[in-house]
Structures are given as C-alpha cells and as structure tokens.
Amino acid sequence: MASDQATERVRDVWEAMSPGWERQRDFLLEFTREIADWMLRELDPKPGETILELAAGTGDLGFEAARSLGGEGRLITTDLAPGMVEIAKRRAAELDIQNAEVRVADATDTGLDRHSVDGILCRWGYMLMPDPAAALAETRRVLKPSGRHVLSVMGNAAGSPWVTVISKALVSLEMMPAVDPNAPGGVFSLADPEKLTGVLNDAGYVNVRTEEMPFHLPFASFDEYWRFILEFAGAAAVLVRSFPEDQQRTVRDETEKISEPYRSGEGYDFPGLTVNAFAT
C-alpha cells in the first residue's frame, strides 16, 4: 500500500509537470544533446529490433532510436504520467514515427513478455522511482539475454546546482525541511556510480559500465531560469506553484540570491552532472 501511494505521488507530480515539459521540449533536447548521443550510441539500435523506453517524458530520445529500427522494428514508449504519454503521442505524429507504440506503464510492471525486447532506454527516471530495484528487476526480466540497457541518472548534488538552488532557497526560508539529497526517490538517490552499479548487479545485470558526464543549462536572465524551473523541476516546482503569489516571489528572490555564483555576464550558466550507464 505504501508503495502504491508513493507511485501515485510520483505520477501526480509528473502529470502536473507535463504541460511545462512540452513547452520546454526544445530546450531539453538542446541541453541533453551529448547525453542523448551517448545513450543512442551505446544502445546501437538495429533494424528489426524491439526497444523499450521507460519514463520517456516527451518521447524524443526513443523516437531518435526508432529511426534506426526500420519498418520491421518496434519502439515501445512508456511513461507513468498519462499527460506525458499524450505529449509523446503528439510528438510521434509530428515526427511521423510509424513504428512506435506509446502507452502508460509503470516501470515495475511493463506488461511485456519475458525476454521480449532487445534494448532499453531510461533517461533520468530510475532515480525518482519509489522502488528502482523492482523496476530494474522487471527490465532484466523483459530484456533478451543479449540485450542492452542504457540509462542515465542525475549526478551528485554538488555537480548539479541547476536543480539544487531552489531546494536550498526553500530550506533557507523554512518552507521545506532539509532532506537527505541521496534519499530514496530523490533526484540524487542513484548519483553514486558504485551504488548504481550495485543496484544493477543486484537486479541481475553482470556487465555494467558507468560514465559521469557534465552538462550546462544557459539562460539569458534569471527570469528565464525561474520560468524553466517551475515548469521542469518536479516536486520542488509543484510545491512552489502551490504557494500564494507573494510567497512564490519570496522563494524566487531567495533562489536568485543563492544563484549568484552562476551568473555569467547578463545571464546565468548552471552546471549539471549526469551518470550514464550501460548494462547487459
């Protein structure tokens, strides 16, 4: 029951975020370009294969893979939030992707047969799942023995101020209690490459390779960053958006103060860090 409630909370957060993710889709593609290239290169999708994407969001990463699968191949694009799935359906139609099935699915219960997929993609999903171990056990079940699993999780908190400054502001203002940044279900819960490797090994993966990769999010102004974070940053954004306008302004001002080290000329340049992994 507790697990079901946690899953519902995650679904509610990302359902609320889905309109903003659609609006921020082009920027997401831009600042994750090197991450996406790494993941697609490691996945190496081939004509005729079946590829599963979990926590797909707008679906663009998987749709890039779909182009390599040919008419006989199949992409299964999934997300827990129905709103994200609707966005991905619209995006598939816009890109004229004909070999994709887009549907709602919980990563712990995909509904797929054992050993039915050749490759799996998941960018920034497992870290936010209430039970990533169960999700990885499910992916090991559906992945063929020769299959490839390529995933990415957020790197450590120190390397990702783009997502931490708002939380620091909320804690500083006593609008949110301080939390362990590595706690289960949090953005940085799988940030340690050794921990990530261990979780993958426990799920039955025997060949695991990880690589940390920095990235950057440039903004022309703090207002641009603030609009982005309220549309993109999950639970913290949902919390701030629930506040009255005057409290939101207070959080914004405190966040801007904390963000001063990342000012670059007239704009801002926020570092980020991701941990990519390949597993079989």
Per-residue confidence (pLDDT) for residue 107, from 0 to 100: 97
* Locus of tokens 């995650």: 10
**Structural domain contains residue 147:** yes
CATH of the domain at 193: 3.40.50.150
Summarize pLDDT for 145-179 with one digit per residue, the tens.
999 999 999 999 999 999 999 999 999 999 999 98
Amino acid present at 131? D
- What 3-state DSSP class applies to 263? strand
Per-residue confidence (pLDDT) for residue 1, from 0 to 100: 46
Q: What is the mean pLDDT of residues 18-30?
A: 96
Number of domains the chain contains: 1
**Structural domain contains residue 222:** no
Q: What is the mean pLDDT of residues 89-93?
A: 98
Per-residue confidence (pLDDT) for residue 116, from 0 to 100: 98
**Structural domain contains residue 15:** yes
**Structural domain contains residue 14:** yes
Q: With bands split at pLDDT 50, 70 and 90, how would you rate the model's confidence at 4?
A: confident
**Structural domain contains residue 259:** no
Per-residue confidence (pLDDT) for residue 183, from 0 to 100: 86
Q: What is the mean pLDDT of residues 216-237?
A: 97
**Structural domain contains residue 241:** no
- What 3-state DSSP class applies to 181? coil
Per-residue confidence (pLDDT) for residue 66, from 0 to 100: 98
Beta bridge partners of 31: none
Please return the burial class of 242, using the count of CB atoms within 10 Å of its CB with bins 0-12, 13-18 and 19+: exposed
For residues 32 and 152, is the Cβ–Cβ distance under 8 A?
no
Q: Which domain holds residue 77?
A: 2-157+183-217+273-279
Residue 56: pLDDT above 90? yes
Cα 17 to Cα 128: distance, rounded to the nearest angstrom? 14
Per-residue confidence (pLDDT) for residue 182, from 0 to 100: 85
Residue 246: pLDDT above 70? yes
**Token representation of residue 240:** 């701030």
What average pLDDT does the chain have?
Answer: 96
